[in-house]
Amino acid sequence: MATLPVPASIDSEKAVLGAMIASRNFLIEAIDTLSPTDFYDQKQNAVIFKALISLYKKNIEVDNVALVNELNAMKALDKIGGIDYLLNISDISLSSSDASYHLKIVRDYSIIRTLFKTTDDLKEAYFNKPTTSDIGDFLEEYTNKVVSITRNRATGDFVDLSDVVTNLNRKIEAKYRQRDKNDVTGLDTGYKILNSLINGWQNGSIYILAARPSVGKTALALNFLWQVAYLTKKTVVLFSVEMNAEQIVERILSSVSSVSSRKFRKGNVTDSDLIALSEAETRINTTKILIDDTSGIKVGDIRTKLSKLKSRDPNLGFVVIDYLGLVRLNNPLPSNKDNIDEIMRTLKSIARDLDLPILVLSQLSRDNEKGKRQPMLSDLRDSGSIEQDADVVMLLHRDAYQKTNQVDQNTIEANDANDFSNNDTIHVNVAKNRQGPTGEFLLSFLMNISKFVELTTNSFKQGE
């Protein structure tokens, strides 16, 4: 196998050093951007860089004489090739833009070399372990290290306000041109009132959909998933920790066809039902809905799978995780609260790094049922970080079911002959909205077909 070239540019390293000698402003920029380890040439260029840092810290004006004196004090002048090598570097004349260009090259090549070394180190560590560990641990460690390295590519410079304004205006104009009839700048939720509150699903944001068991949060999440896939033609992903893929598809097929899943599970369908199911299959086949039903999935695996998918499919647009309480860490922490905190931080990081909206389902405590009241943000279970890290929190409530302790919805779907016979009203409370108003609205939950529809006359209540 031919030896691959090392990702490095000695000429760019020399150009950076020459510009540092010639310009104090660039000297400061380079010191803020690079470290000695970013230089491939450690015997010469990295040593000169260290000497320049030392002169800067001593507040000594940089020129060839001062640099020679500093290298002599470090007993390194002969090691770097003597005065001739320094003169060769200082003779390089660059404009500020050219100097910044070479600075970027040095930094980017350093990142690439670090990525390559990280891969080699992890490979060696994997094979040197006495026993083969969970592949998820290995993938999470690799992904986390890669993300950490690539994040460091940004130098943390000041941001010019004029640049921010220009970029923001471009985004506003793009959203204006792309907005749909509901004035949605994000991905259409499929529900007009929700669109008016959150402006559609926004990239980089975390959404929490929380409720007590059997209220309908999974069914509503599947409705959201379907609406994005069908209306926007984006690739959507569901991580389902409780239900397997066939159960999920049954619900989606039932919702799209308006045929009760209980009927087609029993084969108790009519000719018109079969036509509706066939038409629903055709509509579903125009979408791209991906399901991962791994039980006890780890948050590191979620990051790895989404990162790989996003690189293969730039059309990836929406992610649902059902549900937070069953997602695991590769290395669990002592308390459940600490685990949830870390998982939420990681999910938030995934949403931002991959520029995706992520909807996370969560359970509420029993406090609202005990108090016979609607849920509040304080009812979010296990961790205050759920509310803190989320951009939007939606709380679901079925007033009749939760106040009268009716039996589970699956046991009351007795009338298979009528797909629309078992309905209830769901209160959707947008209790937190980082970028907009809060408020509450109603949806009709057609439980036999796992479908949510907007009421013709909706009692919308603006939040305080």
pLDDT tens, position by position, 330-363: 778 888 888 888 899 889 989 998 999 999 999 8
Is the pLDDT reported for residue 1 higher than 50?
A: no
pLDDT on residue 55: 92
The model's pTM is 0.63
What confidence category does residue 156 fall into, taking pLDDT thresholds of 50, 70 and 90? Answer: very low
Cα dihedral sign, 436-438-442-443: positive
Q: How far apart are the first and last CA of the chain?
A: 68
Is the pLDDT reported for residue 286 higher than 70?
A: yes
What confidence category does residue 413 fall into, taking pLDDT thresholds of 50, 70 and 90? Answer: very low
pLDDT digits (tens, 9 = 90+) for 292-324: 998 888 888 898 889 889 888 999 999 999 989
pLDDT on residue 37: 92
pLDDT digits (tens, 9 = 90+) for 166-220: 666 766 666 665 554 456 789 999 999 999 999 999 999 999 999 988 899 999 9
What confidence category does residue 408 fall into, taking pLDDT thresholds of 50, 70 and 90? Answer: very low
Is the pLDDT reported for residue 12 higher than 60?
A: yes
Query: 185-462, which class in CATH?
Result: alpha beta
Q: Taking the domains of the chain in order of start, what are their residue ranges?
A: 10-132, 185-462
More confident residue, 102 or 152: 102
| Identity of the highest mean pLDDT range in 122-126, 179-183, 393-397, 410-414 | 393-397
pLDDT on residue 406: 53
DSSP-derived secondary structure letter, 427: E
The CA distance from 193 to 199, in Å, is 9
Is the pLDDT reported for residue 117 higher than 90?
A: no
- Mean pLDDT of the chain, nearest integer: 83
pLDDT on residue 144: 66
Is the pLDDT reported for residue 132 higher than 80?
A: no
* Architecture label for domain 10-132: Orthogonal Bundle (1.10)
Lowest model confidence (mean pLDDT) among 64-68, 156-160, 317-321:
156-160
DSSP-derived secondary structure letter, 259: -
pLDDT on residue 105: 93
Percentage of residues of the chain with pLDDT beyond 70: 79
What confidence category does residue 133 fall into, taking pLDDT thresholds of 50, 70 and 90? Answer: low
Give the number of residues written for the chain.
Answer: 464
Is the pLDDT reported for residue 371 higher than 70?
A: no
The CA distance from 52 to 355, in Å, is 39
Give the residue from 87, 91, 28 showing the smallest Cα distance to 59.
Answer: 28
The CA distance from 71 to 119, in Å, is 35
- Cβ 340 vs Cβ 324: under 8 Å: yes
pLDDT on residue 382: 66
pLDDT on residue 387: 83
Is the pLDDT reported for residue 409 higher than 50?
A: no
pLDDT on residue 237: 95
> Can you tell me the mean pLDDT for 78-85?
91
The CA distance from 260 to 422, in Å, is 10
pLDDT on residue 389: 87
Active site residues: 242
pLDDT on residue 121: 80
For residue 415, the tally of other CB atoms under 10 A from its CB is 13
Q: Which token pair is 32? A: 């803020």
> Can you tell me the mean pLDDT for 374-403?
81
pLDDT on residue 131: 52
